[in-house]
Structure 1
Amino acid sequence: MCRILGSFAAGVTAPELDAVSGRQRHGGPDERGVLSGRGWSLGCDRLAVTDPGHGSQPYRLRTAPGVLAVLNGEIYNHRELRRRLSARGHRFDDLCDGSLLPALYMEYGPEFAAHLDGMFAVAVLDLGRPRPRLVLAVDDMGMKPIHYHVSGDGSVRFASEIPALLAFDAVPADIREESLDSVLATKTPLGTETALRGVHVLPPGATAVASPGSVLRIGRRAGADGRSPHAGTGVLETLRHETARLTAADVPVCAVTSGGLDSGLVTALAAEELHGEDRQLHTFHLGYQGRWPDAEHTYARAVANRAGTVHHRVDIDPAELASLLTRTVRHLGQPNADPIALSTYALFRAVREAGFTVALTGDGADELFGGYDRVRRAMEVPDGQDWTAAYVDALAAAPRLLRHHLYTPAYRAFINDLGSDSDRIAARLRRSTGDRLSTLSEFETGCRLPAYHLRRVDHLSMACAVEARMPFCQPATVAMARSRSAGERTGKRALYEAGRGLLPATVLRRPKQPFTLPLAAMLAPGSPLLESVRELLSPAKLAQDGRLRPDRVQALLARHIDHPSASDALALWAIAVHELWTEVVQGLRRPVDCAA
């Protein structure tokens, strides 16, 4: 697991590369490797997980002259691939998973990524050709991102994180004017666009190829739709197999246990696997000092006791939340209005401080098995009636009517002319020719999951030098989920059935609750975050920006203070996060404290 960076058909300086690397060094503190030549550069900041004593990057092989590669992620089938490549004459000096990438590229060219099973972002430079070539590839679910910028002359620059990418002199920090509407309409920009103009992210399952004098060509790999020969395997059998192989590592492994069904299943199966190896799983659960609504300590402890884990309850002092907000916004690189970001960062920080480098999580289950209320409600709408409007509004941090109420007339007219992200999503859903559940699943897993959840998990785990592994996001699990009937895939019925006998009855019976921050309570009078949000929403700041009506934002804040509301709190939080992110971006052209 690492942070990668590079450039192609571009002249960059050594100080630039040092700056890019420095801004994402938190994700790769173990080793730094950067190579550069005329018109190219390639680098990696390494978090050593597989064969920690070897595997320096960029990778080079004598049997693959002129080919350089860097990897962010894990290749779970690297042993099988190494045997296959060795039989073809390639020789490897270590057992690191990424060391085989130059040989794999030599054998299959840009199609090499179709042979990888894992979570990965890979960059390969082929300098042995008459016309050099850059190949970028990401895994089928988009668990590991590559952010990139293409200049007007066709030169390409890329990095694992947006703040690092902005350290290239040729990459501008140009905020899209519509970014505020994107955050309020979908909580974060979805798809391949980011909140910065000209900064993009590769879509899931994509391979991109660049050659001198030609445009960057991006294509989705054949088979990158989660299908596999194992699609008919049972739910519990598949999860057991995928969780077991993700516990294999050359560094300490733990699990995140929220107290819910998804992380509970991963915890129970990981503990089962390690118990068979005479090892005991450590689990981590995060809460907040004091009494707060929706605390899950009891459920998490019940899961841990049932699984026989060494359980760590991490209680954060609410007084720290304001500083955590600044750190998470900086690490995420673009605004994400989900308050879970603070909890996520704090939890992975505790994992690292306890000496663990790999953490298993339950992310992806809701998307694959229809766990969200908005999906259930959309499925219940009778045929012939529109279900998209309510579904799209449920994605928002602020419903459409509230957004338009808060916007200035000029900004409202601008969004009406341009079109909102919510309008584009609704149109996409209505154009779909598949059945309703498939349409919803495709959007949830292919668009929202990578941008909203997986990028957040990647950035905030790696901010603490922790590798997050997700059994639900593995190709076999995705294929298994898609092979289930509509009844099994709605409301996570198949997962509840799989949990019988593994999880406590109290966990299986409890109402669904996300692992998050009790935001409405945290923004109540006298609570720790209210003053920070109030400062970010000051009338002077909003008036200077010109997109929101300060009087109406202040009225919304006053209404929430008088009558705390989860929906009002989320809208206020989204605006505050966007304001703070704007300040962070404006500071990225100045030196930053890379250790923060």
Structure 2
Amino acid sequence: MCRIHGYFHTTATPHEMRTVAALQRHGGPDSTGAHHTPHGGVGNNRLAVMGLDGGRQPYHADDRVQIVFNGEIYNHDHLRRRLEQRGHTFPDRCDGTILPALYAEYGDALTDHIDGMYALAVLDRRAEPRLLLATDHLGMKPLYYRFDPATRALHFSSEIPALLGFDAVRAGVRTSGLDAFLALKTPFGEQTMFHGIRALPPATTLVCPYGGTPRLMRRPAPAPAPHPCGDPRELRRTLHDEVGRLLVADVPVAVITSGGLDSGLVTALAARHRPLHSFNIAYRGRWPFDERHFARETAEHAGTVHHQIEADPAGFPDLIEDTVRHLGQPNADPIALSTHVLFRAVREAGFKVALTGDAADEVFGGYDRMRTAAEAAAAGADWTGRYLDALAVLPAARRTTLYTDAYRHHVRTVDPLPPGARHDLVHGPGTALDRITRFELAHRLPAYHLRRVDHLSMAHSVEARLPFCQPRVVAAGRALHDHQRIHDGQVKRTLYAAAEGLVPHSVLTRPKQPFTLPVTAMLAPGTPLWQYTRDHLTPARLREGGALRPEAVQALFTAQAERPDDTTALTLWALLVHEVWRDTFHRRRTEPPAPVGATAAPPSLRSAVPA
């Protein structure tokens, strides 16, 4: 597990590369490597998890091909044996060491042979120089890049703040980003909150010839299993095997246990393989939705050594700023703070790897919005508007009432969804639940969940591994019929059945609730969080931004003080996160001119880029 960065068809000094590496050293504190050529350069920060004494990057067979890699290759032993039969030799058993041989044998198709989570870069100068970037099938390991069409220069890195460390990267605020953020809780697809900085989508290979334009090739997503198998025992065996494979490491491995089904099942299966430590996060004081007793019951049932972590709400103001800085762009889920604190505790306890239960809801149909939409579709009712509103910080009709006239006019024709996503969601093949699942896996899961988990775990040098993202598990879930996922008001039916006997009955029968921060209760007059929010969302700051009506935001404070509700609290939280992000990255920046054909933002909405 590492952090990677580099440049192509431009120059960067060794000092510049060291600066970029330093900005993401938390994700790879064990060693740093870089290689410069006249055509470009690549670098990495290493978090040693496999083959601790080897794995020096950049990997190379000779000086003409340099490879940097972030992630884990779970089938590296199998691939190594196959490549050895073809005459290749390897200096160590680190998983990434096989990549030069894999690229030599299969070229751009090397990703077809990798089972794992990864983002990688190949600088190939054997003939005409070219740069290849690639991401795994679900986007578990993010990769960001900026291509300048004027100079044909390309820069990339694992984290946005590090990418901004390149002298040539000047990226200002994307003015429609606020609307996308409030509509989706974070930007989806290739778009980020920065003008000119893009996220490489999941299952994508980017190839850029020297002096040319990048070409993106989307690889097929994991296909559903050929024959639907609703047998919970078969699903349990598949999960058991995959959890076992993800426990393999040369460093201590732990598990995150939230108190719900998904992490509870991972905990139970992992404990069948080896003695295990589990971690849960709760909050000092008495708050609603406290899950610590469910997590402890799960841990006792599985026989783990359990660690109960407590976060102090009094420290949330400072924590918000640190969290936003590591994420690089706003994410409206208050769980981000909990995630940050939790992985810090995991690392402080001596663990470099932790398994989580993320993605089970997307794969097996676990969200209430999925159930509601599927039931509405079955009844012939329109479901798309309600479903999309469920993804938002607040519904579309209320969202626009927060905007100034100028900003409302600016975003009126800008779809916050990625190109083609809305059409496939409404008119694509399959049932409504099929289309929703495809949308969640392709767009929401990578942007909203996986980037958050990656950035906040790696902020503390912890590798998060996700059994429910494994291709075999995704294929099994995608193959299920609708009624095997959601039926008679019950979600994740097959997964619940697979957990029988492994997870405590109290966890299986408890009402489903999100693993989140009780922000509605915590955002109340008199608390440090309330005052911190008021200090950041002042009328003067809002007028400076030019997008939000100060009187509309003041009305949110009044409503939250007098009759608090989840939507109002989440809206204030999201606006706070956005303002902290502006403070961190943009208050002294200016957006470059809008591209030809784009709608320019009103002058009052623009922010600055240093000259």
TM range (shorter): over 0.9
Tell me the distance in 2 between the aligned counterparts of 1:395 and 1:439.
Answer: 15
Aligned pairs for 1:356-505 (under 5 A) are 356-381=351-376, 382-421=378-417, 426-490=422-486, 491-505=491-505
Specify the code of the residue in structure 2 equivalent to 1:88: R
The one-character-per-residue Cα deviations of 1:368-408 (angstroms, maximum 9, x if unpaired) are: 11111111000111443211000001100021122111111
1:49 matched residue in structure 2: 49
Distance 1:473 1:529, change over 3 A: same
2:599 matched residue in structure 1: none
Matched residue SS, 1:219:
strand
Specify the code of the residue in structure 1 equivalent to 2:8: F
* 1:368 and 1:489 in contact (8 A); partners too: no
Tell me the distance in 2 between the aligned counterparts of 1:100 and 1:160.
Answer: 21
Q: Which moved more, 1:120-129 or 1:140-149?
A: 120-129
Give 1:321 shift: 1.0
The one-character-per-residue Cα deviations of 1:102-147 (angstroms, maximum 9, x if unpaired) are: 1110111111111100001111111222x01211111101100110
Tell me the distance in 1 between the aligned counterparts of 2:432 and 2:570.
Answer: 28
1:298 matched residue in structure 2: 293
Give 1:291 shift: 0.5
Distance 1:97 1:226, change over 3 A: farther
Tell me the distance in 2 between the aligned counterparts of 1:103 and 1:566.
Answer: 53
Tell me the distance in 1 between the aligned counterparts of 2:579 and 2:446.
Answer: 23
1:540 matched residue in structure 2: 540
2:129 matched residue in structure 1: 132
Specify the code of the residue in structure 2 equivalent to 1:172: R
* 1:389 and 1:426 in contact (8 A); partners too: no
The one-character-per-residue Cα deviations of 1:472-527 (angstroms, maximum 9, x if unpaired) are: 00001001111222112221011110111001111001011111111001101222
Tell me the distance in 2 between the aligned counterparts of 1:413 and 1:83.
Answer: 60
1:287 to 258, 282, 288: 282
The one-character-per-residue Cα deviations of 1:323-345 (angstroms, maximum 9, x if unpaired) are: 11001100001111010100000
* 2:225 and 2:478 in contact (8 A); partners too: no
Tell me the distance in 2 between the aligned counterparts of 1:167 and 1:587.
Answer: 17
* 1:181 and 1:420 in contact (8 A); partners too: yes
Tell me the distance in 1 between the aligned counterparts of 2:223 and 2:351.
Answer: 30
Tell me the distance in 1 between the aligned counterparts of 2:225 and 2:58.
Answer: 31
Give 1:224 shift: 3.1
Specify the code of the residue in structure 1 equivalent to 2:567: S
Tell me the distance in 1 between the aligned counterparts of 2:125 and 2:334.
Answer: 45
Q: Which moved more, 1:427-436 or 1:537-546?
A: 427-436
Unaligned 5+ segments in structure 2 are 590-611
Tell me the distance in 1 between the aligned counterparts of 2:588 and 2:12.
Answer: 18
Tell me the distance in 2 between the aligned counterparts of 1:45 and 1:427.
Answer: 40
1:224 to 221, 226, 248: 221
The one-character-per-residue Cα deviations of 1:203-225 (angstroms, maximum 9, x if unpaired) are: 1111111111321111012x433
Specify the code of the residue in structure 2 equivalent to 1:437: L
Matched residue SS, 1:135:
strand
2:344 to 334, 346, 349: 349
Give 1:418 shift: 3.0
Give 1:183 shift: 1.1
2:559 matched residue in structure 1: 559
Tell me the distance in 1 between the aligned counterparts of 2:421 and 2:405.
Answer: 24
Matched residue SS, 2:412:
helix
Tell me the distance in 1 between the aligned counterparts of 2:50 and 2:351.
Answer: 14
Count residues in correspondence. 580
Give 1:356 shift: 0.2
Specify the code of the residue in structure 2 equivalent to 1:101: L
Tell me the distance in 1 between the aligned counterparts of 2:32 and 2:226.
Answer: 39
Give 1:587 shift: 6.9
Distance 1:375 1:423, change over 3 A: farther
1:105 matched residue in structure 2: 103
Unaligned 5+ segments in structure 1 are 275-279, 590-596
Give 1:305 shift: 0.4
The one-character-per-residue Cα deviations of 1:507-556 (angstroms, maximum 9, x if unpaired) are: 00101111111100110122231111111111110011111110110111
1:593 matched residue in structure 2: none
Q: Would you say 1:315 and 2:313 are equivalent positions?
A: no
Distance 1:588 1:553, change over 3 A: closer
* 2:59 and 2:68 in contact (8 A); partners too: yes
Distance 1:227 1:42, change over 3 A: farther
1:592 matched residue in structure 2: none
* 1:135 and 1:210 in contact (8 A); partners too: yes
Distance 1:102 1:261, change over 3 A: same
Specify the code of the residue in structure 2 equivalent to 1:150: F
Identity of aligned residues (%): 53
Specify the code of the residue in structure 1 equivalent to 2:327: L
Distance 1:141 1:588, change over 3 A: farther
Give 1:226 shift: 4.2
Give 1:583 shift: 1.1
Q: Which moved more, 1:131-140 or 1:527-536?
A: 527-536
1:144 matched residue in structure 2: 141
* 1:184 and 1:396 in contact (8 A); partners too: yes
Specify the code of the residue in structure 2 equivalent to 1:147: Y
Matched residue SS, 2:282:
strand
Q: CA RMSD in A?
A: 1.6
Specify the code of the residue in structure 2 equivalent to 1:196: F
1:96 matched residue in structure 2: 94
1:71 matched residue in structure 2: 69
Aligned pairs for 1:56-205 (under 5 A) are 56-61=56-61, 66-129=64-127, 131-152=128-149, 153-205=151-203
* 2:227 and 2:479 in contact (8 A); partners too: no
Distance 1:294 1:423, change over 3 A: farther
2:597 matched residue in structure 1: none
Tell me the distance in 1 between the aligned counterparts of 2:484 and 2:588.
Answer: 47
Distance 1:588 1:78, change over 3 A: farther
Specify the code of the residue in structure 1 equivalent to 2:499: G
Specify the code of the residue in structure 1 equivalent to 2:311: I
* 1:185 and 1:393 in contact (8 A); partners too: yes
1:528 matched residue in structure 2: 528
The one-character-per-residue Cα deviations of 1:29-79 (angstroms, maximum 9, x if unpaired) are: 000101112121110000000011111110123xx5621111100000000
* 2:357 and 2:466 in contact (8 A); partners too: yes
Give 1:434 shift: 2.3
